[in-house]
Amino acid sequence: MQAVNYTTARNSLKLIIDKVCDKSIVIMSLDEYNRTHAQLKRELKEAMEQIERGEYMGIDEAFDRVIAKY
């Protein structure tokens, strides 16, 4: 990941976007990125704890539950 300040981004936006990819990009504030990253870390930690406690389902059961909702 590359973080750039506003002036650099404004002056080099096309170059920055081209370096990232040739598709769509997302631009967000550093605060929003940090909040999102922290939330993902919390969710991953909880998921790992659930697995350690044996609180998970197999792929077939998960697939069946998703299909049943639609």
* Structure confidence at residue 61 (pLDDT): 92
Tens of pLDDT, residue by residue over 15-68, are 888 888 877 888 888 899 999 999 999 999 999 999 999 998 899 999 999 999
Range 42-45 contact pairs with CB under 8 angstroms and sequence separation of 24 or more: none
* Structure confidence at residue 25 (pLDDT): 82
Annotated domain spans of the chain: 6-69
* Structure confidence at residue 39 (pLDDT): 97
